[in-house]
Structure formats: structure tokens, C-alpha cells
Homo-oligomer: A and B are copies of this chain.
């Protein structure tokens, strides 16, 4: 494999033109089957490899889809990615993955890098603190498909793929109320992100529906980092009327809460009932097993992948809707019984 074989080499040894070789290799209709066979045979014989760089340059396409996620090392995100990768791979696309590490600055950098490297489309789940969106302007201007997943923002001509966080939050809350909780605490993530603000809305609507007044003490905005658990405990202890129900914005943090509350001699679920969010594998392994909302990450990824691919292949979208909403599901386990 010292010298790379090109279509010119093939052309010369076959006594045809480079154009013929190129068209044969691409199964172009205007080439006779006989010629195609000869070309393909010789290509295999000589170990010809198509040079993607040249193809890319010629077509101005990279056959590559960019992905920006907040963090790679979260089970939810990596599950989404697994779904995306499967679909993309089957469709012959490569995935360039980068993480914003929850920082808008890094997200901007990533968006620029991926743009410069010529991705054919971009999938994004927004960072924790992203507030402006000019870094996506180039994509929109140049009609590069841009799709938001999970942590979304409404931009013109961009699809979003989400679940109905508000109604999921509503159901989670109503379940706690149905189990007899009177004084709930919702532990939320950054309320600038749709996923968390929507869940809060659902929480509030459920309270309202059941004539429970929403007070400041019913909400704690958190970064959901394990180390922040102590603030939760402090809040719960400081409150006048004892908290008897906890709706936590994700399972991992909920699991940490359970652990810490148990350490503080709270009994779960008899003292405090807890429900999480995501249905992470961890939710069924903690004690007591954690009630939660199933968030179909893999399906989300698959759908996102399909959406991109269909955007790219012919432009006709299989899912013409601008926004796809997946079905969530309440999962009841011991932590709320």
C-alpha cells in the first residue's frame, strides 16, 4: 500500500478515461455493465480505495453529522448518542461528537469548529448556561439542518425532539399528591433550560389543581451536582412544615438525596416520598427503588438520527413536524408507596 491507487491509475491500466472509472465506481447508469465489471474487478485487484478527501472537496459534503452534548459521561446522554450513532451509521454517516461541558463558551467553540470542519448537519443539546444563539446563525443561513434534542430552543427552521416535560412533571407531582403528600418540594435544575422550567410548570399546575398553594419554599433550584445534596438537606430541615414529598429533576440526584436522607434518619417513603426523572438504570437499583418518569433516551436518539438523515436525503422529512414529542411514562416504585 505504498502508493495509493487513484482512478487515474485504474484508467491507465484499463485503457479507459478517468471519467469512465469514476462513473463505473459510482454505478452511473450511462456506463455499460461490461465496463463497470471490468473497472470494479481491477479496482479490487489493485486495492483501490476511494479518497474521501477528494470526494468531499468535489461535493462540498462530508457525510458527517456533528453532535454537541453538554456532557458525554451521563448515562442519559450516552444513551441518546447510542441511538443517534446506530441510525447514522446505518445510513452511512459518521458522527463527530463534542461536549460543551455545560459551558456556552465551549458550545460556541464547538459549533464553530464543527461548522468549519464541514458537517452536513448538527444535533445539539444545549449547555446549562446557554443564553444566546448566534453561534448557530451560520448553520441556519447556510441551510445546514440543525436539530435540537432534549435541551432545546426554538429557532426558525430548526426541529426539536423532546418529551412533554410539563405534563411529565405534572404526572410526577400528581402521583405524589395521590400518595398523600401535602407539602412538596421540587428540586429543579437551571430554570433557563426548557426541560427544567417545563417540569416546574407541571409541578405548579398539579399543585394548583389540587388546591395546594405554591410557595417559595416548595422550590429549590440546584446545579444537581452530588455535592449540592447538603443544601437540599439543609433546606428540608429548615422548613417550617415538614416536607413529605420530593420531586427531583433527575434520578442521579434523587439517588443522592435518598442516600443522604436515609443517613439523616428520614424514612423513605413513610416520612418523605421521592420521585425522580429519566428512569436511569440507577433508579431501580437504589433502596428503596426510585419512582420516576421514563424518558426514552435511546428512542430519542434514533428519532433524532432519522430526522437528520431524512433531512439530508432529499430534504423530504419523514417527520414533517417541526417538533417531535415522545411519549413519557410514570414508573411507580417503592420510593413513593
Contact = CB atoms under 8 A, between A and B. Distances in A.
Interface of A: 1, 49-54, 56-57, 60, 62-64, 71-75, 77-79, 81-82, 85-86, 89, 94-99, 101, 110, 113-114, 116-118, 138, 141-142, 252, 255-256, 258-259, 262, 281-282, 284-287, 297-298
Main SS at interface, chain A: helix
A114 B182 CA distance: 56
A53 B257 CA distance: 50
Contact of A82 (B51, B60, B72, B113): B72
A284 B117 CA distance: 41
A145 to B, nearest CB: 16
Contacts of A50: 116
B57 A54 contact: yes
B49 A53 contact: no
A95 B94 contact: no
25 contacts: A52-B116, A52-B118, A53-B56, A57-B57, A64-B117, A72-B79, A72-B85, A73-B79, A73-B298, A75-B78, A77-B78, A78-B81, A81-B97, A85-B97, A94-B96, A94-B98, A95-B96, A95-B98, A96-B96, A255-B285, A259-B284, A281-B282, A282-B285, A285-B285, A286-B287
A81 B75 contact: no
Contacts of A57: 51, 53-54, 56-57
Contacts of A138: 1
A70 to B, nearest CB: 11
Given A53-B60, A72-B81, A86-B99, 9 more contacts: A1-B142, A52-B117, A63-B117, A72-B85, A73-B75, A73-B81, A85-B99, A89-B98, A95-B97
A117 B63 CA distance: 9
A95 B79 CA distance: 18
In order of increasing CB-CB distance, the 4 nearest A-B pairs are A78-B78, A287-B287, A53-B57, A72-B82
B78 A116 contact: no
A97 B97 contact: yes
Contacts of A96: 64, 94-97
A266 B259 CA distance: 21
A55 to B, nearest CB: 9
Contact of A53 (B53, B75, B89, B110): B53
Contacts of A77: 78
A77 B138 CA distance: 33
B89 A82 contact: no
Contacts of A298: 73
A269 to B, nearest CB: 15
Contact of A1 (B71, B141, B258): B141
